[in-house]
Structure 1
Amino acid sequence: MFGEHELKTQFIRIADKKIHLLEEKGGIIRYRRENVEKLIKNSGEKLKVLPSPALGYGVRLLMVKFKEPLVIPPRDSITGFVEAPVEIDVKVGDLTIDHFIVGKEKYALYGTLEAGVICRYHVSSFYTEEPESIGMAKLIVSNPSPEWKSLERVVIPIRGTSMYYESTKAYYPLLVVTIKNHNPEVNNTGKPPKEGLSAVGEGLSLPNFLMRW
Structure 2
Amino acid sequence: MQEILGRHVLKRDMEERTILLGSNKVVFGSEGTAFRYRRYDGSALVSDSLIVTDSRETHLGIFPNPPTRVPREVAKNVYIKFKSPVIVDHKSVAVLYSKIPIEIGVYRQHKDEELLIDVFSLTPPRYALYGTPEAGVVCRYVEADAATEESALEVKQYEEARVRIRITNDINNVIRVSRIIIPIDDVVLEHRNDDAWVPGSVEMQLDSAFGKDVVSVRLMDTRVKRIDKTSAKKTEDTLIFSMDGGY
TM-score interval for Structure 1 and Structure 2 normalised by the shorter chain: 0.7 to 0.9
Q: CA RMSD in A?
A: 2.4
Name the larger-Rg structure. Answer: 2
User: Residues 18-37 of structure 1: matches in 2 within 5 Å?
Assistant: 18-24=25-31, 26-34=32-40, 35=45, 36-37=47-48
2:106 equivalent in structure 1: 90
TM-score (norm 1): 0.84
Distance 2:79 2:22 in 1: 22
Residues 14 and 189 of structure 1: CA distance in aligned 2, closer, same or farther (over 3 Å)? farther
Distance 1:12 1:137 in 2: 27
8 Å Cα contact 1:162-1:203 kept in structure 2: no
2:236 equivalent in structure 1: 205
Task: Between 4-13 and 202-211, report the one with greater CA deviation.
Answer: 202-211
User: Residues 57-72 of structure 1: matches in 2 within 5 Å?
Assistant: 57-58=72-73, 59-72=75-88
Structure 1 gap segments, 5+ residues each: 193-198
1:188 equivalenced with 2:219 (yes/no): yes
Structure 2 gap segments, 5+ residues each: 228-232
Distance 2:29 2:99 in 1: 33
1:162 equivalent in structure 2: 188
2:18 equivalent in structure 1: 11
- Give runs of ≥4 in structure 1 deviating > 6 Å: none
2:61 equivalent in structure 1: 48
Residues 153 and 100 of structure 1: CA distance in aligned 2, closer, same or farther (over 3 Å)? same
1:106 equivalent in structure 2: 126
TM-score (norm 2): 0.74
Distance 2:214 2:144 in 1: 21
